[in-house]
Amino acid sequence: MTRTTMSAPDLDWTDPECPVARTLDLVGDRWSLLVVRDAMDGARSFTEFQRRTGIARNILTDRLRKLTAHGVLAQRTAPTGRRQEYVLTDAGRALFPVILTLRQWGERHAFAPGETHSVLVDRQGTPVPEFAPAGADGAALGADTTQVLKATP
């Protein structure tokens, strides 16, 4: 497993010792996560991201630049050789469980019963099962069964 270290000297960390805060500083706004979501769904070009999200050009430019600078996306020459395209890096693909968890939370809490919404399916067309974190012993983990150990200087 490769670990990516993201150096971000241009960021003023909200909470320098908290992984959740650092992650939110990097990808925690609405547009960044929607760009990541669409990249996971095959979007590659500036035009595709803009069409899928409806994001303003200046905001999209900013988010693509930030996601690329912090190693979530990479730019490469498109197969046509004419334009640049954006692709997920290993760090970007590692956000899949985050997007999945947000999706499943939304399915449960952001729609009325019976309201139509998109569904994430595997390659066989079967809906992706509920994501449920488990401890080393297999027991379900939640806010009431975990705790944060604060970093000490």
In a domain, 42, yes or no: yes
Judge contact between 71 and 91, C-beta under 8 A.
yes
In a domain, 116, yes or no: yes
In a domain, 121, yes or no: yes
Where residue 26 sits, what CATH number does that domain have?
Answer: 1.10.10.10
Instruction: Give residue 14's identity as a one-letter amino acid code.
Output: T
In a domain, 29, yes or no: yes
Q: Which domain holds residue 86?
A: 16-153
In a domain, 4, yes or no: no
Predicted confidence at residue 16, as pLDDT, reads 83
What are residue 84's DSSP bridge partners? 77
In a domain, 3, yes or no: no
Sequence-ordered alpha helix ranges (H) in 1-153: 19-27, 30-40, 46-53, 57-69, 90-93, 96-109
In a domain, 66, yes or no: yes
The first and second tokens of residue 129, run together, are 């099962």
List Cα–Cα distances, 36 to 16, 74, 92, 139, in angstroms. Answer: 23, 12, 7, 30
Q: Which residues contact 55 (CB under 8 A, 6 or more apart)?
A: 31, 34, 35, 49, 63
Full pLDDT tens readout for the chain, 153 residues: 444 445 545 568 888 889 999 999 999 999 999 999 999 999 999 999 999 999 999 999 999 999 999 999 999 998 888 899 999 999 999 999 999 999 999 999 999 999 999 999 999 999 999 999 999 999 999 999 999 998 877
Number of domains making up the chain: 1
Predicted confidence at residue 10, as pLDDT, reads 56
In a domain, 1, yes or no: no
Q: What is the dihedral of CA 65, 67, 73, 74, to 10 degrees?
A: 30
In this structure, what are the phi and psi dihedrals at residue 68, rounded to the nearest 5 degrees?
-75, -45
